[in-house]
Amino acid sequence: MMFAVAMTFIDQTIVSIAAPDIVRELGLTSSGMQWVVNAYLLALAAFFALGGRLADLYGPRRVVMIGTLVFVVASVLCGCVPSGDFAQTWLIVFRGVQGFGAALLFPAALAVVVAVFPVERRGRALALFFGISGALTAIGPLLGGWLTASWTWRAVFWVNVPVAVVALVLTLFAHIADRPRSGTLDWRGAVLIAVGMGLSVLGFQQAWSWGWASAATWLCVVGGLAVLFVFVRYEQRVAHPLVDLRVFKDKAFSMDVAVLFFAMLAFVPVFFFSSVYAQVSLSASPNQAALFLLYFFAGFALASQWGGRILDKKGARPALKVGCVVGAVGFALWANNLTNLSMHDQWPYAAMAGAGIGFILAPASTDAVNRAIGPSYGEVTGITQTVRNYAASVGMAVFGTVLTRVMADNVVDTLRARGFSSDVAHDVARGISESVSGHGDSTPPTGTGQVAEATRDAMQAIQMDFAQANQWVFYGMAIALAVGYLFALRHPGGHGAATRRPEDAGAAAGSGAGAAGTRKRPPAG
């Protein structure tokens, strides 16, 4: 199961490092590249609950294998994207299929882990499962940087093939018992949550090109949120809901999820924006950009361990409060120093931002699972994972719109100061901001003759413009964590596990997206 889910975590971050190379070779726009990253996250969020329910109805082993096959076929097709006008659509579509495969296999893999471990050993097993799989997120940038620099960016997709083969072979040899359960699939709920999430993120993502004053922007955003509201009301009435929302009656669980939402607005997007910043403004190679992200992960790894100990001794509330404060300050200081254009001067602030996220993710996720009384571990994990991935999608969309908008305005000011007419400056600025990549040796995306030459001469100033535009993004991440702190203050505290009745612990393993049956099995080995 670890090999199966490894692919889903690595692919959340591996593509970010290769983004500038993908843009240059395929001619993608800035918003197009953000959709390549976002399509995966959005599909993972939209179909996660569906994957858990399918694991219930048809058996987790079968769904793990189907999800793995869907994921790896989509990965191969992403790596085989043809050049030309169809490239952007091809890549976005099959990244979405990747996310759908991940949404099938992840909750099913969790169901297997829950089913094969007895109750008294399940906590340690889940801690290992989430701890190792979460740490794999850090491998993405390093692996992506190495593959892109030493071979081709296409290899960031093809690397999933050997991992998938190992996962499938191990799953076959494990002889996991599939015990499908009776019940019905809530197709209406699945459609509503997918449409609601897709529409709202589309509105945020396209606000740059459509404009915030556009009726289409607000139709998508408001319409998507309205559909999600209908989904919530529908799930409260249906006999076999896709998502059991009763757990939100627990205030601690609701605050855990709220803090996770605001933390995830920054966590996954920071990989994309910091790696592109490093390659554009700092002229770093993909390998150097990956090492740049290690500062963030160093703080994240240390704080995750510390946050776990705080959770065990004092509950989630202190860890969430500390994490939000440390993260908000770290991102704010990091934003303030982006214009130094020095990778090594920024490491303390990147590490501090990572530490803030590290204090939050594991304690909030674990406390949320501990609050599951009626619903299963899997259902609760399904809710938290859906919220986490949806928040990451919204963060990518909103911050991407901010970056592109501010970048264009900055470039216009730079070019007008150098004597360009307003019309020419706007045309060149839009081309540069849409291209994402602004390396000094790259050809400007628009303009010929004198305009192109003058734009190349201004490229150093434009790299500073890109750094200044990224400041808005990182300040936005700081604000997100500051808002998360307000919810952390409302957390009632205490240990979720202490509120669980003994009989609930067994029931928690036997229903919903994370369950494969209530049978008890002898300890492994």
225 in the same domain as 85: no
Could you tell me which residues are beta bridge partners of residue 315? 494
Residue range(s) defining the domain that contains residue 77: 1-186
Please tell me the distance from the alpha carbon of residue 391 to that of residue 41, in angstroms, as a whole number: 9
Please tell me the distance from the alpha carbon of residue 210 to that of residue 285, in angstroms, as a whole number: 33
Q: Cβ atoms within 10 A of the Cβ of 440, count?
A: 11
In a domain, 202, yes or no: yes
Q: What are phi and psi of 494, to 5 degrees?
A: 85, 175
In a domain, 334, yes or no: no
167 in the same domain as 199: no
In a domain, 100, yes or no: yes
Please tell me the distance from the alpha carbon of residue 58 to that of residue 80, in angstroms, as a whole number: 32
Please tell me the distance from the alpha carbon of residue 15 to that of residue 294, in angstroms, as a whole number: 16
pTM, rounded to two decimals: 0.78
Please tell me the distance from the alpha carbon of residue 286 to that of residue 276, in angstroms, as a whole number: 9
E runs forming strands in 102-184: none
Number of domains making up the chain? 2
pLDDT of residue 349: 95
Please tell me the distance from the alpha carbon of residue 8 to that of residue 437, in angstroms, as a whole number: 27
In a domain, 314, yes or no: no
In a domain, 170, yes or no: yes
In a domain, 93, yes or no: yes
pLDDT of residue 373: 53
CATH number of the domain that residue 23 is part of: 1.20.1250.20
pLDDT of residue 478: 97
pLDDT (tens digit, 0 to 9) for every residue of the chain, 525 residues total? 888 888 887 877 777 778 778 888 888 776 777 788 778 888 888 888 888 888 878 888 889 999 999 999 999 999 999 888 788 899 999 999 999 999 999 888 887 887 787 766 766 676 677 667 666 666 777 777 788 878 888 988 998 899 899 999 998 888 777 776 666 778 898 899 889 988 888 888 777 677 778 898 899 999 999 999 999 999 888 888 888 788 888 899 999 999 999 999 998 889 888 888 888 888 888 778 877 888 898 898 888 888 878 888 888 899 999 999 999 999 999 999 999 888 888 999 999 999 999 899 888 888 887 776 554 555 677 788 888 888 988 898 889 888 888 888 888 887 788 777 777 777 776 666 655 433 333 334 444 445 455 555 566 777 888 899 999 999 999 999 999 999 999 999 877 654 443 334 333 333 333 333 333 333 333
121 in the same domain as 206: no
Q: How many Å separate Cα 374 from the centre of its chain?
A: 28
In a domain, 381, yes or no: no
224 in the same domain as 75: no
Please tell me the distance from the alpha carbon of residue 182 to that of residue 168, in angstroms, as a whole number: 26
Please tell me the distance from the alpha carbon of residue 326 to that of residue 304, in angstroms, as a whole number: 13
Query: Which residues, 6+ apart, have CB-to-CB distance to 309 below 8 Å?
Result: none
Instruction: DSSP letter for 81, please.
Output: P
In a domain, 511, yes or no: no
Please tell me the distance from the alpha carbon of residue 35 to that of residue 94, in angstroms, as a whole number: 11
